[in-house]
Structure 1
Amino acid sequence: MPFPSKRLPALAALLFAACAAQATPPATVRVDYTHSGNALSEQYALERVLIEPLPWPGDLGRNLDDTDRGQNRVEVVDAKTGDLLYSRGFSTIFGEWRTTEEASRINRGFQESVRFPKQDKPVRVRILRRDERNQFSVAWSVEVDADAPEVVRKQPASGAQPLAIRVSGPSPRKVDLLIMGDGYTVADMGKFEAAARRLSAHLFTVSPFKERAGDFNVWALAVPTAEAGVSRPSTGVHRASKLGTRYDIFGSERYVLTLDNRALRDIAQHAPYEFIEILVNNDTYGGGGIFGQFSTVAAGNDWANYLFVHEFGHHFAGLADEYYTSPVAYQSSGSRMEPWEPNVTALRDPSRLKWNKHVKAGTALPTPWPKAEYEEASRAYQKRRAALRAANRPESEMNALFREDLARTNKLFSAAPHRHHAGAFEGANYEAKGFYRSEMQCLMFDRSERFCNVCKDGISAIIDLYAPAAPAR
């Protein structure tokens, strides 16, 4: 066992309390399916329906998602009446992959899952996607009877027991965050626990998580691997890790994800969770985050604190990247549809800017900032960064470069007139032109330590979806 068995009775009591908030907590239903296609088309195919070992962790009074986030949405409706019973927005790895050059040449398939509270009747599960009008339309649907004989009900043992890192109350009233480990051997379990505690503690020093820390439960779970670390194919390193997490996703040396959704879900189902962050036992800078799926971070890197929070921002709240000078695998579509992400805009109508409440009267839109100077310095920085990776230089040199780059940006921005103002600053969403962010600097823009006010609002809305704020007295 990765964690001492003496902790298990206390954990069992916590799990019982987490379920006791609802008189009869429903079971958790999971639908596994394949999402395949290319840049121009997509298909879905059902794999299996199963009942997870633990009851539904969520608040049944908050079954419907009103945040309008995600490239996709799952809807569970009554199979007979069509009444909407459950909904959540999410995005997918397939959705990112189809914007890459490879998707213009070949078809690929990706594993996906949706989870929802069991109903006492057959339901229709619908997967929606945003269309060219930026509205949701049904892409696929399937009828699910969770009481049918073919539903999988017996799950294999996880190979590990979850550890309670932070318990603020019953799961249905809290956000349940599960921190998973990949690439940790039996001897590394203490290292994983320490990293889970350290990084989750840091998360709650960053606003608005800091002010809402009491709305979160945090669990940790790692199944030991034979070798330490995860795969990094570009350097010839391959590891058979339990979750299949690896670097070099879509050809980006710093992009870390797992494409083995079934392995991830089959282990995660043994702990209460709504959100997952995977710690990989590596020192090389890297991470990733998909809204409503999971996020990752190289736990041993000097920038792990920043990466943990930044990538969680993607996964938890659907925040867009606000940077635009770093190389990415995605190809620009050339279109400027208004993004669904709350923290970037195409600024089609300045009078209806989505974060107008933060903008002072008289602020110019677009808002001036030292863009040319920033881009000139960034081009030089990116060349040095690429050269360090190409030469496989020690990670300490890359970390030093990152510190130098942040110090230079801070110095440049310090004298800018709109340094601490909200507006519409051009350059965001991987594009130098046509997309705008709300402030010059934010944790989603560079390696600074705070979210802008718009990102804080976006995060708070998701916290409210899972753990509604108590009414003022």
Structure 2
Amino acid sequence: MQAKLTLPLLLLFLAGNISAQYKDYFTNETMRLDYNHVGNANEEHFAFDQMVNDGEWAGNKTVLIDELMLGKYFFEVQDPKSNKVIYSRGYSSIYGEWETTPEAKENWGSFHESLRFPWPKQNVNILIYKRNINNGFDPIWEYQVNPLHHRAFTAPVKDHYNTFDVVINGAPEKQVDIVVLGEGYAADDMGKFRKDAQRFADVLLNTEPFASFKEKFSIRAVETPAPHSGVNHPHQDIQTRSALSVTYGAFNSERYALGYDNKLIREASAAVPYEFTAILMNDSIYGGGGIYNLYITAAVDNAFQEYLFVHEFGHHFADLADEYYTSASVYEVDMQHLEPWELNVTANADAATIKWKDIVTPNTPIPTPWEKAKYDEHSIKKQEKRLEMRKAKVDEKVMEDFFIEKRAWDDELLSNMKYSEHIGAFEGAQYKSNGLYRSAANCIMFTRHHQFCPACQRGIKLIIEQYTK
């Protein structure tokens, strides 16, 4: 296995391999390498499962090397003859979150995961790296892929699901391709699913910066009918089995929704060309989730459905960090990192070197003063009240009204401060009240706001460019 790579060395190494030619190494199909990721809070292991043809390669055939290197993990596809990196991507995973939970300190866990890359013409080496506290990457698994392996299933998924186009703007290799799956939609709900998929597309592509690049997006949907309507809610004593195994209550957080059956979700997604996945939950209870380069989940019938669509997609698409800090996280955030790798938060409040220094509003103090004490006092009280209401299992409409009132208060305060319209460094981000900063007073990643902050917008644009250049 290779020695660890620091971030500067890895950047240099990747830059030297950026000229890898698609046609020299890959076919027009997609390989999905499935494996099991097993471990606990102290150690982790990988075990090969299978290789599957995931259909037509929908990715960019020009930009094969990921120079952004976001995510907790990073993988490379290498030509074993030359050791040249011919494809790479950063990603995060359910395991990467689970290993920080209290459960992982006491028990082992096993999670099924997949890597997707163009189908290689010859044997290739796969190397998975994990981010270290210095934001470099340490190698943790290496596997040689033989496309002729007896567990390489070369027949693509065809005609297993009904599919339909939501928005098509070009050939997959030149577009950002999103697949929309439905969870908790019975056969009789498919008409509603079609409307919900269109609503998701409309909301996303009318939010900046997606709106300015909407012609670069194609969105397709796959019908995945369930036996019954609705999604599993262990905290609400609602038990049901649905098509994709998505459930509220992930990591024992009632509003966090994840699907643990990776194969099932991947098989459904592969019915159309895709790079990103949105799972719409046919449910009215507020909840969802988003993991970088995995998928999002979002409830479609809640008053905050539009916010959920875009907020969770920000996590999934651009690895944007949560900027809020007064409500609890479902997992423990690694505070050992000297600097968050996400593009929208920072621990560096030096005006000369802050990661978004080139867009800071002139004459803006760094750190940037804001009504933090007033905001904290109000938000903490509201969080305490929210917990009481959830414990009492009040009607969801009452919860919605509660959060609508809070959103109005937040918007009023955060839009009427001296530096409300400035780009600066506002203290409080990523579940930490002190020592971490965001670029603007308000953002979709901070409150239930309707706009992304400038740092988030820039990060999203970088991903769009990576997939469409």
TM-score normalised to the size of structure 2?
0.92
Contact 1:275 1:294 in 2 (8 A): yes
Report the CA distance shift for 1:434/1:218 in structure 2 as closer, same or farther (over 3 A).
same
Shift of residue 155, structure 1, vs aligned partner: 5.7
Superposed CA deviations along residues 125-172 of structure 1, whole A, max 9, x for unmatched, are 111111122101211010001133331234666642221001101001
Q: How do residues 305-384 of structure 1 correspond to structure 2 at under 5 angstroms?
A: 305-347=306-348, 349-384=350-385
> Which residue is equivalent to 2:39?
37
- Residue 100 and residue 90 in structure 1: after superposition, are their counterparts in 2 closer, same or farther (change >3 A)? same
What are the residue-to-residue correspondences of 1:12-161 with 2, within 5 Å? 26-52=28-54, 54-154=55-155, 159-161=160-162
3-state SS of paired residue (1:417): coil
Closer/same/farther in 2, CA of residues 236 and 48 from structure 1, 3 Å limit = same
RMSD: 1.6
**How far is the alpha carbon of 1:253 from its aligned partner?**
0.9
Q: Which amino acid in the other structure matches residue 331 of structure 1?
A: E
Q: Which residue of 2 aligns with 1:300?
A: 301
Where does residue 252 of structure 2 map in the other structure?
251
| Amino acid paired to 2:245 | G
- The offset of 1:296, in angstroms, is 0.7
Letter in 2 for 1:437: R
Relative to structure 1, is the Cα distance of residues 183 and 410 closer, same or farther in structure 2, using a 3 angstrom cutoff? same
1: CA distance, partners of 2:58 / 2:379: 44
Matches within 5 A, 1:230-249: 230-249=231-250
Name the SS for the 1:61 alignment partner: coil
Following the alignment from structure 1 to structure 2, what is the Cα–Cα distance between the partners of residues 119 and 153? 12
For 2:50, the aligned partner's letter is: R
Contact 2:29 2:56 in 1 (8 A): yes
- 1:326 offset after TM fit, Å? 1.1
1:290 aligns with 2:266: no
CA–CA distance in structure 2, aligned partners of residues 440 and 414 of structure 1: 8
1:215, 1:467 within 8 Å by CA — same for their partners in 2? yes
Q: Which sections of structure 1, spanning at least 5 residues, go unmatched?
A: 1-21, 469-473
CA distance in 2 between partners of 1:316 and 1:463 (Å): 9
1:447 counterpart SS class:
coil
* Kept in 1: contact 2:157–2:271 (CA 8 A): no
Q: 1:156 to 1:164 in 2, by over 3 A?
A: closer
Give the equivalent residue in structure 2 for 1:428.
429
Q: 1:269 to 1:206 in 2, by over 3 A?
A: same
Question: What amino acid is aligned across from residue 26 of structure 1 in structure 2?
Answer: N
Q: What one-letter code is carried by the residue in structure 2 that aligns with 1:36?
A: V
Corresponding residue for residue 397 of structure 1: 398
1:308 maps to amino acid: F
Instruction: Give how far 1:40 is off.
Output: 1.7
Q: Is the CA contact 1:176–1:216 (under 8 Å) kept in the aligned structure 2?
A: yes
Question: d(CA) in 1 for partners of 2:361 and 2:128?
Answer: 40
Structure 2: gaps (5+ residues) = 1-22
The 5 Å alignment of 1:160-179 reads 160-179=161-180
C-alpha distance in 2 between matches for 1:363 and 1:348: 12
Deviations 1:334-386 (A, max 9, x none): 43520110000011644210000111333221111111110110111112211
Q: Which residue is equivalent to 2:462? A: 461
Distance 1:219 1:155 in 2: 18
Map 1:251-270; keep pairs closer than 5 Å: 251-270=252-271
2:53–2:157 CA contact under 8 A, matched in 1: no
Aligned position for 1:17: none
In structure 1, C-alpha distance between the alignment counterparts of 2:81 and 2:27, rounded to whole Å: 24
**Distance between the aligned counterparts of 2:234 and 2:122, measured in 1?**
47
For the residues of structure 2 that align with 1:334 and 1:270, how far apart are their CA atoms?
40
Query: In 2 relative to 1, CA 340–332 (structure 1 residues): closer, same or farther, beyond 3 Å?
Result: closer
Q: Which amino acid aligns with 2:274?
A: Y
Find the counterpart in structure 1 of residue 13 from structure 2: none
Deviation at 1:419, TM superposition (A): 0.5
Distance of aligned partners of 1:211 and 1:140 in 2 relative to their CA distance in 1, 3 Å threshold: same
The answer (yes or no) to whether the contact 1:26–1:119 under 8 Å persists in 2 is: no
Aligned length: 446
- Measured in 1, the distance between the counterparts of 2:77 and 2:323 equals 33
Shift of 1:443: 0.6
8 Å contact 1:283–1:298 — kept in the other structure? yes
Give the Cα separation in 2 of the matches to 1:247 and 1:328: 15
1:342/1:454 contact within 8 Å kept: yes
Per-residue displacement from partner, 1:435-464 (whole Å, max 9, x unpaired)? 111111001101110011111100000000
Amino acid at match of 1:379: I
Could you tell which deviates more after superposition, 62-71 or 307-316?
62-71
Alpha-carbon offset, residue 101 of structure 1: 1.4
